[in-house]
Amino acid sequence: MDAISLEPDMKVVGQASTGENAVETIRSLKPAIVLLDVNLPVMNGQQITHQVVLEKLRTRIVLMSGYDDVEQALHAAMAGAAAFCAKDIEPKNLLRIIREVADGKFVFGSQTLTRHELQKWIEEQIEAAPRPYSEPGSPFHPLSGREMQVLESVVTGLSNKEIASLLGISHQTVKNHVTSILRKFGVEDRTQAVVYALKHGWVRLRTSGVRSEGRGS
């Protein structure tokens, strides 16, 4: 933020620490551009971006993540972001991205694109993706509300029986939800699902005492 505030053509007008606050800030201040962390509490960056698009707000979003990979960039683009970059990006490169986004361009995969070029890039990435993007729900948040509750419980180390007791549902229902989560994430076990969820910002690690993920029943 310090680098941005020093630029004569840029001004920092607000900051937010949670996803909900970010949405409220965007609605009230109507900034031209927002730098948004993918992994925010309450609502993740992709969800916020999608909400901004749904409300037809003019704010353009630059999504930032600790994991700079093509899959993350694709999720960001499909959510409606104008750009995606790593959080450890050099200030001069971030300033360049901000200016290009302000000029109506899109920046993904180290490329500056027009809207037409971005759509072509998205189609190419979907075609080359190791997992299909045809699951129900949006690619940036593919889980149902109940599946999110189950996933959050899995991340904290609860067994299926403990999750069933916590949520007031049957053990078999929990198993069904876990199976669905693994299928949607394209992973083979609970541990891989936790890693995937944390990496992509679906959930945050709220406790330091996560138990073994091998307790499937």
Q: What is the pLDDT of residue 134?
A: 41
Q: What is the pLDDT of residue 212?
A: 34
Structural domains in the chain plus CATH codes = 2-128 (3.40.50.2300), 145-199 (1.10.10.10)
- Which two tokens mark 176? 């069904």
Q: What is the pLDDT of residue 161?
A: 93
Q: Which of 126, 149, 145 is nearest to 137 (CA)?
A: 145
Alpha helices in the chain (DSSP H): 2-5, 19-29, 45-54, 70-79, 91-102, 115-128, 145-155, 160-167, 171-185, 190-199
Q: What is the pLDDT of residue 69?
A: 77
Q: What is the pLDDT of residue 110?
A: 84
Q: What is the pLDDT of residue 19?
A: 86
Q: Which residues lie across from 61 on neighbouring strands?
A: 34
Tens-digit pLDDT profile for residues 116-138: 999 999 888 877 765 544 433 44
Cα 137 to Cα 130: distance, rounded to the nearest angstrom: 18
Q: What is the pLDDT of residue 42?
A: 72
Q: What is the pLDDT of residue 140?
A: 52
Q: What is the pLDDT of residue 170?
A: 94
Residues of the chain with pLDDT under 50: 132-139, 207-217
